[in-house]
């Protein structure tokens, strides 16, 4: 079969869906010895040495999401290629294709529908307008977790017969890694708690700040807090809380860290904290587990699927519960070591090779139907 992958997210994003799409392409091409692939993306940025792609820029270059490209030029190019299957890994598309071309759409989460307050108005409107259409027209839907599958099936019952959950993997360089020079690069001194994620309401970092205040007031241990991630939308409330924080001098906002530095940041941390209200999967949690970091994570959405019994859990509404977990870890060295051992074992359950093999199985199910 000839399969087209729409890889725009590699050029438009730098976080979760960017890495998902990149690894999807790399590992499908590596593992699939049966099918052929064509990659279409916005620009000529190299995905990986040896992987070629077709560049199709936006017609309206001032727009991030160009409707002319999405609805006309991109479908027109795909039709000329006459593929058997088109994969859209970025939640939105593909559009305007004839019925004989099978469509696979990846649904990463249902936050625009389930928690619309965490999205911009434009995003909410687009999802409301096009999501039912996407669900109806897709021949196959891929999700990142059982929780996202359940959410999708609940809000869109027609998706039940064509949804397959496939867990993500992690890069091989996410492993226990120790080098204090990396900490010096970001001006981090030990010990420290670490949180990784964009500063935006869904990541619930205000609860983390409040829990850290409780922790510092109730213990003599001076453990710093390092928050790693870009500044996202609706971040004013976070910064208002941060600037008034009584222990602000011990909170480091280091911005977006080099991805190759993350294993060192995870490995040296006293604990990794992920207080998110909702995730489709939770890739930073898997990365932290892979580095043997003791993990303290929200008990919501897909996160318990990723962490299982290798993490401590708390309600994302409870700064008190989170603070108590942090105190427990600091007072019980053996607990931290045990969580670290469990983390490494849990992380072994996930790999991009396993992900690719399961994805290829889904693709090959179409072979008999074509």
| Fold agreement (2-169+351-369, 180-347) | yes
pLDDT at 188 over 70: yes
By three-state DSSP, how is residue 54 classified? strand
Mean pLDDT over residues 157-161, rounded? 92
pLDDT of residue 64: 75
What is the dotted CATH code of the domain comprising 180-347?
3.40.50.2000
Residue bearing the bigger pLDDT, 312 or 46? 312
What pLDDT was estimated at residue 12? 80
pLDDT over 90 (residue 283)? yes
DSSP string, 171-229: -TT-S----HHHHHHTT--SSEEEEES-BSGGG-HHHHHHHHHHHHHH-S---EEEEES
Mean pLDDT for 66-86 is 93
Contact yes or no for 291/176 (Cβ under 8 A): yes
For 291-345, the pLDDT digits (tens) are 999 999 999 999 999 999 999 999 999 999 999 999 999 999 999 999 999 999 9
15 or 205, greater pLDDT: 205
- CATH 1.10.645.10, domain 2-169+351-369, yes or no: no
pLDDT of residue 310: 98
With 70 as the cut, is the pLDDT of residue 368 above it?
no
Mean pLDDT of the chain: 93
Q: What phi and psi, each to the nearest 5 degrees, are found at residue 317?
A: -85, -10
For the segment 12-33, what is each residue's pLDDT rounded down to a tens digit?
Answer: 876 788 899 999 999 999 999 9
Q: What is the DSSP letter of 260?
A: G
Strand order in the sheet with 102-107: 54-55, 36-41, 2-6, 85-88, 102-107, 140-143, 163-165
CA distance linking residue 346 with residue 289, whole number of Å: 7
**pLDDT of amino acid 272:** 98
pLDDT above 90 for 148: yes
What percentage of the chain has pLDDT greater than the value 70? 99
| 365 CB burial (10 A radius; 0-12, 13-18, 19+) | exposed
**How many beta carbons lie within 10 A of that of residue 37, not counting itself?**
19
Task: For residue 370, name the pLDDT band (cuts at 50, 70, 90).
Answer: low
From the number of C-beta atoms within 10 Å of its C-beta (0-12, 13-18, 19+), residue 236 rates as: exposed
Per-residue pLDDT at 88: 96
Q: Where do the structural domains in the chain lie, given as residue ranges?
A: 2-169+351-369, 180-347
């Amino acid at each position: 079969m000839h399969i087209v992958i729409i890889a725009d997210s590699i050029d438009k994003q730098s976080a979760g869906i960017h890495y998902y799409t990149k690894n999807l392409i790399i590992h499908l091409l590596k593992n699939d010895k049966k099918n052929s692939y064509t990659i279409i993306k916005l620009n000529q940025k190299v995905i990986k040495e040896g992987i070629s792609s077709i560049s199709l820029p936006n017609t309206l270059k001032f727009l991030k999401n160009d409707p002319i490209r999405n609805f006309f030029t991109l479908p027109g190019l795909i039709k000329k290629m006459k593929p058997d299957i088109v994969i859209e890994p970025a939640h939105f598309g593909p559009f305007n294709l004839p019925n004989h071309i099978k469509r696979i759409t990846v649904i990463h989460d249902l936050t625009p529908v389930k928690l619309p307050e965490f999205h911009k108005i434009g995003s909410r409107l687009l999802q409301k307008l096009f999501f039912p259409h996407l669900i109806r027209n897709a021949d196959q839907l891929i999700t990142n977790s059982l929780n996202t599958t359940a959410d999708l099936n609940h809000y869109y019952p027609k998706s039940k017969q064509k949804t397959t959950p496939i867990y993500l993997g992690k890069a091989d360089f996410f492993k226990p890694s120790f080098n204090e020079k990396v900490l010096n690069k970001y001006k981090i001194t030990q010990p420290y708690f670490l949180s990784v994620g964009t500063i935006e309401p869904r990541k619930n970092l205000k609860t983390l700040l409040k829990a850290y205040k409780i922790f510092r007031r109730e213990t003599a241990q001076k453990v710093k807090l390092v928050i790693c991630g870009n500044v996202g939308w609706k971040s004013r409330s976070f910064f208002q809380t941060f600037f008034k924080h009584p222990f602000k001098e011990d909170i480091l906002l280091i911005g977006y860290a080099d991805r190759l530095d993350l294993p060192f940041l995870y490995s040296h941390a006293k604990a990794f904290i992920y207080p998110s209200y909702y995730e489709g999967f939770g890739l930073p949690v898997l990365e932290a587990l892979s580095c043997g970091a003791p993990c303290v994570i929200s008990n919501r959405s897909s996160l318990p699927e990723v962490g299982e019994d290798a993490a401590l859990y708390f309600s994302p509404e409870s700064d008190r519960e989170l603070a108590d977990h942090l105190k427990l870890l600091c007072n019980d060295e053996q607990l931290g070591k045990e969580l670290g051992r469990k983390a490494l074992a849990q992380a072994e359950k996930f790999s991009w090779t396993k992900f690719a093999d399961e994805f290829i199985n889904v693709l090959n199910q179409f072979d008999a139907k074509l």
